[in-house]
Chains A and B, each alone.
Chain A
Amino acid sequence: MFLKDYISEVYNGVSSLLKGMRKTGYYFTHSKEIITEQYPDNRATLKLADRFKGEVVMPHDENNEHTCTGCTACELACPNGTIKIITKFDITPEGKKKKAIDAFIYRLEMCTLCNLCVAACPSDAIKMAPNFEHSVFDRSKLTKILNNPGSKIKEGIE
């Protein structure tokens, strides 16, 4: 019985080591598995992970329309006051007043990219973009207005 345990122990040990060596041997012989990005050289073809968080952006469609209702949920969700929303009132064709954003101010220098604002948004107006080259010569350039000039809210978003 003792001998049987001993031999099975040796067998299990060797087989698990060989399993590990098979995996590393596979990586050694398959250069397509290499995940290194030689960054400054391959700027044009850089591949980033989908979940990479570089900055907050507000997507606009081809009619220069966004989906932000100006509800300020993101402003409330932000732990360090990165977002400031200035609202205004638009006049709809029916003559009613409707709340809309004047400026979505985003201070990248204060942002920790925690994703809480994106999670808080009820209308998916903002999202994280993979751009990470943020260095500028003047700090004030990091304060951005996310809604394009002249943009308006998409029809049917409340």
Chain B
Amino acid sequence: MLSLESITKTTQDWLFAKFSPQIALTIECVIVILLAITLFAVLGLVLVLLERKVAARIQIRLGPNRVGPGGIFQTAADTLKLIMKEGLTPDAADKFLFNLAPFIVMMVAMLLLAPIAFAKNFQIWDINIGVLYISSVSSLSVIGILMAGWASNNKYSLLGAMRSGAQIVSYELSAGFAVLTIVVLTGSLQISDIVAAQENGWWLFKGHIPVIIAFVLYIIAVTAETNRAPFDLAEAESELTAGFHTEYSGMKFALFFLAEYINIFIVCAIGATLFLGGWMPLHIGHWENFNHVMDYIPSSVWFMVKTFFLIFLIMWFRWTFPRLRVDQLLNLEWKYLLPISLFNLLLVTVIAIMGWYF
């Protein structure tokens, strides 16, 4: 059967048979880089269109429907426009940092792609500290945002960047605790182990109450971490024009925009891996026939369906809830999410020790 696993294996065998190990490895790296860039470009186009369509449907509108059938080429046309626009650098800006910031944000998004398991045995880098790597690297993206805000030499940009800093520092905590509940249950930080542990049922079902609480906390925390509404204080169009990317235009703006959507994809992919079983098909206990039917659906399809379900959930939040004030934002984290997640971690530890999960 043709699967991503067999394709990668055939390619690797062929490369190592043809070339010396060093050259084969270099070629593999180039292929991976090309695939990652292609994935980013496609994801950017698809997610922006999806967001606009979802927003339109929720606001009882039609959304883009003029460029191509059903408006499917709208985002491609927008990207073409952004490429042709001038990338202006303000005179008073710190030119080096100003031009570096979008690339830092983009690089962080790219680094996060490494430990994600897209399908069965289809993973760039299966490190033994996968979850730790994700939570540490994802907090680096705030550096890019702070850099953009500071280097723009613009009061709106600086305010937006500072808000973003406060936000990510606080919400990192509850996202970390939510991830820890799964680590406690699995007993491993490796992504492939976490996925393998969900073979007879996803953690969301197996871990019942504490994992459901952790899942809700995780979704709230990553919505805040990716700077999306209702936590989009860093951009806050109505207050700060465009927040940290006020001064950006052309392709540099497009990189920020793309990085936002790539980050959404990545956090949703991680959420799907931790709570919804990653590429693992839906298996219910000992229903052999049902499990067998589910196995026929390719693992990559399972992964994408779960990830896009979570992405849809986050888009749904964005077009339903109003934006929080800064004090409300920090209240929510320090007075509600953090105590609840600490208590939840205790609960899940008790459950893991007593073996009260399925």
Which residues from chain A sit less than 8 Å from chain B, CB to CB? 10, 17, 20-21, 23-25, 27-28, 31, 33-36, 38
Q: For the complex of A and B, list the 8 residue pairs with the smallest distance between their C-beta atoms, beginning with the closest.
A: A24-B320, A36-B62, A24-B58, A28-B57, A20-B320, A28-B58, A33-B60, A36-B61
CA distance A28 to B313 in the complex (A): 12
CA distance A4 to B43 in the complex (A): 45
Kindly identify, within residues 270 to 298 of chain B, every residue whose CB is under 8 Å from any CB belonging to chain A.
none
In the complex, B54 has a CB within 8 A of chain A: yes
**Chain B contacts for A10, CB-based, 8 A:** 336, 340
CA distance A36 to B61 in the complex (A): 5
CA distance A17 to B60 in the complex (A): 19
- Contact status B321-A20, CB under 8 Å: yes
1/0 per position for B317-341, CB-CB distance to A under 8 A? 1011100000000000000100010
- Contact status A35-B60, CB under 8 Å: yes
CA distance A31 to B320 in the complex (A): 17
If A10-B336, A28-B54 touch, does A34 touch B60 (CB 8 Å cutoff)? yes
CA distance A27 to B319 in the complex (A): 11
Mind listing 20 A-B residue pairs with CB under 8 Å? Answer: A10-B336, A10-B340, A17-B320, A17-B321, A20-B320, A20-B321, A21-B316, A23-B320, A24-B58, A27-B59, A28-B54, A28-B316, A33-B60, A34-B61, A34-B62, A35-B60, A36-B61, A36-B62, A38-B62, A38-B65
Which residues from chain B sit less than 8 Å from chain A, CB to CB? 54, 57-62, 65, 316-317, 319-321, 336, 340
Interface centre among B54, B62, B317, B320 (most CB of A within 10 A): B320
Instruction: Please give the distance in Å from A38's CB to the nearest CB on chain B.
Output: 7
CA distance A11 to B40 in the complex (A): 39
What is the chain B residue whose CB lies nearest that of A14?
Answer: B216
CA distance A36 to B59 in the complex (A): 10
Instruction: Please give the distance in Å from B347's CB to the nearest CB on chain A.
Output: 15
CA distance A31 to B60 in the complex (A): 8
- Contact status A21-B62, CB under 8 Å: no
CA distance A28 to B50 in the complex (A): 13
CA distance A31 to B316 in the complex (A): 16
- Contact status B320-A21, CB under 8 Å: yes
CA distance A80 to B61 in the complex (A): 37
**Chain B contacts for A23, CB-based, 8 A:** 320
CA distance A36 to B64 in the complex (A): 12
Instruction: Please give the distance in Å from B337's CB to the nearest CB on chain A.
Output: 10
- Contact status B57-A27, CB under 8 Å: yes
